Chain A
Amino acid sequence: MDDVDALRRGETAAFDAVFAAYRRRVFGYLVRMTRRRDVAEDLLQEVFLRLAQHARRLAPDTRLDAWLFTVAHRLVLSWIRAQGVRAQLAGDLPAREPAGSERSPLEALADSEAQLALERAFAALPASYREVALLVGIEGLQPTEVAGILGIRADAVRQRLARARAQLAELLGEHVPHSWRTG
């Protein structure tokens, strides 16, 4: 909680340390949820602006990862809603996705066929499953914490996680990790 105490005192060094520690994690979440690098960068800025603005009002026992992902989740929800409204205004066109053989920002980063298959499979998951898989499976948050972030029950988090894993196994096909086959 040292970082939280220092943030509450408005210390710049503490903010820099928190930004360095969490920016990749939050950015990874934002890119995988929005599938747009430019949007993820804007939302990342908004997340850390809000942290700076709320720093003095943070509770002493704040878990920074949960706090940051809660803000990021709300911003993603707002962005998705705005995309839906825009699509309706544009005559129900689908939200912008990489077209045809064009690679998404995440696919472009993949440096093996297996990683490419993984990013494609992950992107094909429903957003609600993808989000839980990201927060619990990749970010290592507890289902109870994720339940708080998403505003759902911990049971629902576990259920979504199991479904995400099952769908990933199906989507990955031959690229399923060896341990998944034996486990």
Chain B
Amino acid sequence: MSDDDSKRIAELDFARIDVDAERAERIAQRARLDLGRGPSPWRFGEPVLVAILVAGVLGWAIVKVVELLR
């Protein structure tokens, strides 16, 4: 019985745990800076750089193959 199981587990006396106040304030402060801003556009930077690099190497390889075939 799920209701009974959850009720019984809720009866257990777990130790109370919290993040310390100083760290909590730092987390809140950091998050407030991002409130409503959305994720940083720089998170797209890495995949774009990798894509440019891969396209460059691929282009270079194609040019070399074409040169060989001429």
Contacts and interface: CB of A to CB of B under 8 A. Distances in A.
A31 interface: yes
Contacts of B33: 52
B10 A140 contact: yes
B34 A41 contact: no
B10 to A, nearest CB: 5
A53 B9 contact: no
A157 B6 CA distance: 11
Range, interface on chain B: 20 to 34
B11 interface: yes
A21 interface: no
A41 B18 CA distance: 10
Given A53-B37, A109-B17, A115-B13, A15 B31 contact: yes
Interface residues of A, number: 50
Interface of B: 1-2, 4-6, 8-19, 23-24, 27-28, 30-39
Interface of A: 10, 12, 15-16, 19, 23-24, 27-28, 31, 40-41, 44-45, 48-49, 51-57, 105-106, 109-111, 114-115, 118-119, 122, 133, 136-138, 140, 143, 157-158, 161-162, 164-165, 168, 177, 179-180, 183
